[in-house]
Amino acid sequence: MQVRDIRLSRQKMQVDFLTLTKQYGGFLAALGGVTITVLTLVLSLDREKVRSNSHKFLVAALIVATLTSFTGAHLMAETAASISKAKEEKSGARLFLLASINIYLSTILTIFVLMLLPVDYNIQNAEVVTAISASVFLCVICSALRWMYLTATSRIPPYNCCRTIRGVSIISVIWLLSLCILPSIFKIINDQVLLFISLFPIVGFTGFSLFRFTTPFSKDSEAKPFDISFFCVSITFSCASLLGIAGRLLISHITTQ
């Protein structure tokens, strides 16, 4: 009876992952179209109206968001095909976990871009708009971290990664402090270095998720401890990096007005 319940649970999980994969694949493809359209508009607008210290972050974030969106859409399509072909043999948990990293990255990058737009183009009397967009960005970051925790501890069996999440959270807080508060006070990191050390790792996470995605096809579909740890590290580290950039740019925007 217990074995039958486990099989039924896996079959239910397979259906859930297949549905989620198809829905998220369309979402990421649409989000990629949005980001590449905004990137085209940003590059074509009058450059005399932009703020030089935030414009490069805006353009770079749009490029990275486009990359993560289309990469995620590709991985979601591969996951759906793998689950459909395997039928009852695989639940798709491991493939979905690796592919879903790009859902979080592309979403927080897109909201980060929307927050930077009124700051970058220095719209008059945009303090309220900036405050609203910053609040939305902070809410999305908190929601992403909460959803990451629920996914790692409840949705993806069978590894309990609470200890890993606590360790990653401590490291991410230290990283956030080193990106935002300390550089803003002591001016120890210029914008070029900050741009590289904050956005380049996100590109690395996307690339490694694509690389790691190619290894499970011939193996069982259960997520491994390394996969869940990488999932948590990618999302938490990226959230801390974007929070650090946002904090520094908003501080600079307020102090220069």
pLDDT of residue 125: 63
- Residue 16's domain comprises 2-255
Spatial contact of 35 and 66, defined as CB atoms under 8 Å apart: yes
Which tokens hold the place of 17? 């992952």
Which residue intervals of the chain are DSSP H helices? 2-44, 52-86, 93-120, 127-150, 162-176, 182-186, 191-213, 225-255
How many structural domains compose the chain?
1
Predicted TM-score (pTM) of the model is 0.83
pLDDT tens, N- to C-terminus, the chain (257 residues): 444 444 434 443 444 677 888 889 999 999 999 999 999 888 887 666 666 677 888 889 999 999 999 999 999 998 888 877 765 545 678 888 889 999 999 999 999 998 888 777 766 666 777 788 888 999 999 999 888 888 877 777 655 566 666 677 777 777 766 665 566 555 556 777 777 888 888 999 999 998 888 875 555 567 777 888 888 888 988 888 888 888 777 777 666 66
pLDDT of residue 5: 42
The span from the CA of 202 to the CA of 49, in Å, is 29
The span from the CA of 62 to the CA of 40, in Å, is 10
The span from the CA of 18 to the CA of 90, in Å, is 11
The span from the CA of 17 to the CA of 38, in Å, is 31
Residues 6+ apart with CB under 8 A from 110: 31, 34, 35, 65
Say how many CA atoms lie within 13 Å of 229 toward its Cβ: 6
The span from the CA of 205 to the CA of 153, in Å, is 21
Spatial contact of 241 and 223, defined as CB atoms under 8 Å apart: no
Residues 6+ apart with CB under 8 A from 109: 35, 61, 64, 65, 68, 202, 242
pLDDT of residue 35: 93
The span from the CA of 115 to the CA of 136, in Å, is 8
Spatial contact of 18 and 95, defined as CB atoms under 8 Å apart: no
pLDDT of residue 232: 85
Other CB atoms within 10 Å distance of the CB of residue 69: 28
Question: Which residue in the block uniquely carries the two structure tokens 């490694």?
Answer: 208
Spatial contact of 115 and 246, defined as CB atoms under 8 Å apart: yes
Which tokens hold the place of 212? 């790691």
